[in-house]
Amino acid sequence: MKYLIIGLGNYGGVLAEELTALGHEVVGVDSEEFQAERYKDKVATTYVLDVTDEMALSVLPLNSVDIVIVAIGENFGASVRIVSLLKKHNVKHIYARAADEVHKAVLDAFSLDRILTPEKDAARLLVQLMELNAEVEHFSVDENNYVFKFSIPSKLIGYKINELSIEEEFKIRIISVIMGKHTSNILGISKVEKVSEVSYPEDYELKQDDGLVCYGQYADFIKFWKSVK
């Protein structure tokens, strides 16, 4: 895909580098020459432009990229003006960074594809890492709902699925059971093979090498996780 990133500061610059590393074509724009210089050899193209100026903005390949990302967060006025101009130029897919809730509320009015809240997301991720440690893999579906994947805690070994009452008690829905099946390789060495089953018997008894994939709100999962750890 081809991305146009406006603002090559700490956030936009890392975003540009990471997208390039994943094989995407990135065009970077910044009003400061030294910022554009930092990334000129790391992305496909860089521009030094003040894109709050509509004439300057029109120089950019707005309609030949897949997504335009407004990575400016600190300058509220510049961010809102740039988004407004992008909408005026009929840019189809726009992501924009919001520095706080007021900024986000204003950007919401433009009906953007996505509003990015990196500071808030980073803080939330840090809390989740400290709370769950490395024992749970999770990703957000939206601000409140997550998918969680985890190995069976020792307290649940020997329980049958229909004895857990996770959905009734914690509002957490089981999506699949990861069954740890013992197999042997051609040398006769035993190993555990993980197989995810979305269809499973309700009376399936959980074993040490099994796992679960669940869906629900983060706060509800924390209550469940604390009850079994």
- Tell me the sheet residues that pair with 193: 181
Residue 194 binned pLDDT confidence (cut-offs 50, 70, 90): confident
In tens, the pLDDT along 18-45 reads 999 989 999 999 999 999 999 989 999 9
In tens, the pLDDT along 42-81 reads 999 999 999 999 999 999 999 899 999 999 988 899 999 9
Query: Do 104 and 130 reside in the same domain of the chain?
Result: no
In one letter, which amino acid is 108?
Answer: D
Query: Do 133 and 111 reside in the same domain of the chain?
Result: no
Query: Do 61 and 149 reside in the same domain of the chain?
Result: no
Res. 217: pLDDT tops 70 = yes
Among 116, 148, 163, the domain boundary falls at 116
Nearest CA-CA partner of 80 in 101, 108, 59, 56: 108
- The answer to whether 101 and 128 are in contact (CB under 8 A) is no
Q: What domain range includes position 82?
A: 2-116
What pLDDT, on a 0 to 100 scale, did the predictor assign at position 186?
62
Residue 128 binned pLDDT confidence (cut-offs 50, 70, 90): confident
129: left (phi over 0), alpha (psi -120 to 50) or beta: alpha
- The answer to whether 17 and 38 are in contact (CB under 8 A) is no
Residues 140, 219: Cα–Cα separation, whole Å: 13
Query: Do 96 and 69 reside in the same domain of the chain?
Result: yes
